[in-house]
Structure 1
Amino acid sequence: MGITVQNITGSTAMVIWPKMASCVDSFYSVMYHPNWNSMLSSYSRKSFQKEERVPTTQSSFVVENLAPLTTYIVCVTCQSANPSSDQCRVFNTLEQDPASASNTKKDLALGIWLTSSVLLLIIAAILLYGCLHLLCRRRRERLQGQNGTSEQDHGMAWTKSVACTSEELGRQSQLMQDTEEKHPGGIQLATIIENPSVCKEPVMTKVRNECQRQDSALL
Structure 2
Amino acid sequence: MGITVQNITGNTAMVIWPKMASCADSFYSIMYHPNWNSMLSSYSRKSFQKEERVPASRSSFVVENLTPLTTYILCVTCQSANPSSDQCRVFNTLEKDPASVSNTKKELALGIWLTSSVLLLIIAAILLYGCLHVLCRRRRDRLQGQNRTSKQDHRKARTKSAAYTSEELGRQSQLMQDTRDPGGIQLSTIIENPSACKEPITPTSKSWERVPVTGQCSAIN
Question: Could you state the TM-score of these two structures normalised by the residue count of structure 2?
Answer: 0.73
Query: Residue 18 and residue 153 in structure 1: after superposition, are their counterparts in 2 closer, same or farther (change >3 A)?
Result: same
Does residue 1:151 correspond to 2:157, yes or no? no
Q: Is the 8 A contact 2:45 2:81 kept in 1?
A: no
In structure 1, what is the Cα distance between the partners aligned to 2:178 and 2:69? 126
2:42 is matched with which residue? 41
Higher helix content, 1 or 2: 1
SS in 1 for 2:89: strand
SS of corresponding position for 1:53: strand
Change (3 A) 1:79 1:176: farther
Q: Residue 22 of structure 1 aligns to a residue in which SS?
A: helix
Residues 43 and 82 of structure 2 are in contact (CA less than 8 Å); yes or no, is this contact kept in structure 1?
Answer: no
Distance 1:136 1:96, change over 3 A: same
Tell me the distance in 1 between the aligned counterparts of 2:41 and 2:137. 72
Q: How big is each residue's C-alpha offset from its partner over 1:154-202, in whole Å with a ceiling of 9 and x where there is no partner?
A: 1111111111111111112222333344156xxxxxxxxxxxxxxxxxx
What root-mean-square deviation, in Å, do the aligned CA atoms of Structure 1 and Structure 2 show? 2.6
**Match runs of 1:37-186 below 5 Å:** 37=37, 40-45=41-46, 47-183=47-183
Give the structure 2 partner of residue 208 of structure 1.
none
3-state secondary structure, aligned to 1:159 = helix
**Secondary structure of the structure 1 residue equivalent to 2:5:** strand
The separation in 2 between residues aligned to 1:50 and 1:141, in whole angstroms, is 71
Q: Deviations over 1:6-34 (max 9, x none)?
A: 12111111111111111144432222222
Matched residues, percent identical?
A: 82
* Structure having the higher Rg: 2
Distance in 1, Cα, partners of 2:66 & 2:178 = 121
Secondary structure at the counterpart of residue 61 of structure 2? strand
Q: Report the more deviating stretch, 14-23 or 132-141.
A: 132-141
Counterpart CA distance in 2 for 1:115 and 1:82 is 48
Q: Is the 8 A contact 1:14 1:63 kept in 2?
A: yes
Task: Give unmatched runs, 5+ long, in structure 2.
Answer: 185-214, 217-221
Equivalent residue of 1:168, what SS? Answer: helix
For residues 115 and 103 of structure 1, what CA distance do their matches in structure 2 show? 18
Alignment length, in residue pairs? 187
Give, as a single letter, the amino acid of the residue that structure 1 aligns with 2:113: W
What amino acid is aligned across from residue 63 of structure 2 in structure 1? V
TM-score by length of 1: 0.74
